[in-house]
Amino acid sequence: MSAPTPTRAAKKRPALLLAQFESTADVLHAAEKVREAGYQKWDVHTPFPVHGMDKAMGLPDSKLGWIVATMAIIGFCSALSMYYFMNGVDYAIIVGGKPGFSPPAAVPVYFEVTVLLSAFGTVFGMFHLNGLPRHHHPIFESDRFAAVTDDKYFISIEAGDSKFDVNETRGFLENLHPTHIELLEEAVS
């Protein structure tokens, strides 16, 4: 019987640095400092929405509203065109002396198609803007990160950031006085 072949250890590279904070004030102050330092690929993780966090992170207004409004207009115009073609051109039947294309008769159709396309725009626009689906993120390798749904606050700075350097970024995070800093790695395929 032959001996099993040894398996190679998977190579790993840094994925992100994760800093844990104990209060909303601490993480809010830290987020301002991270933004001021010029990091681009970073995020704040909290158990609930924190008032003022968008401003502290320097986030712009969401583009989702424009996507939904565009889809609503497309939905309304599509419903109106569909109703015009089906009832006024393709299968025009005069009922009670009314013309084939009578816009007020189809208000429920306009409304429903507008809402339908708006809902699709919301879901797929949110997926696109959030970079989903992403089935795995290295942050979930942290045992401490599970506390984010309870009472802990985290800031993660990703290795893909142009300013990221393991030692310098760790030193920067230490100056923000977190309770814990963890380097998370991901396997290189």
Cβ–Cβ contacts within 10 Å for residue 86, how many? Answer: 15
pLDDT at 1 exceeding the cut of 80: no
Residues 183, 166: contact at Cβ < 8 Å? yes
Beta bridge partners of 18: 156, 182
| Largest CA-CA distance found in the chain, in angstroms, rounded | 92
Are both 74 and 124 inside the same structural domain? yes
Whole-number Å distance between alpha carbons of 155 and 43: 6
152: containing domain: 13-61+138-187
Q: What is the number of domains present in the chain?
A: 2
- At 76, which amino acid appears? F
Whole-number Å distance between alpha carbons of 41 and 138: 14
Query: Is residue 4 in a domain?
Result: no
**Distance, CA of 91 to chain centre:** 45
Whole-number Å distance between alpha carbons of 174 and 180: 9
Query: Is residue 8 in a domain?
Result: no
Q: How confident is the model at residue 46 (pLDDT cuts 50, 70, 90)?
A: very high
pLDDT attached to residue 133:
87
Does pTM top 0.85 for this prediction? no
Query: Is residue 165 in a domain?
Result: yes
pLDDT at 98 exceeding the cut of 80: no
CATH number of the domain residue 153 falls in:
3.30.70
pLDDT attached to residue 61:
92
Cβ–Cβ contacts within 10 Å for residue 151, how many? Answer: 11
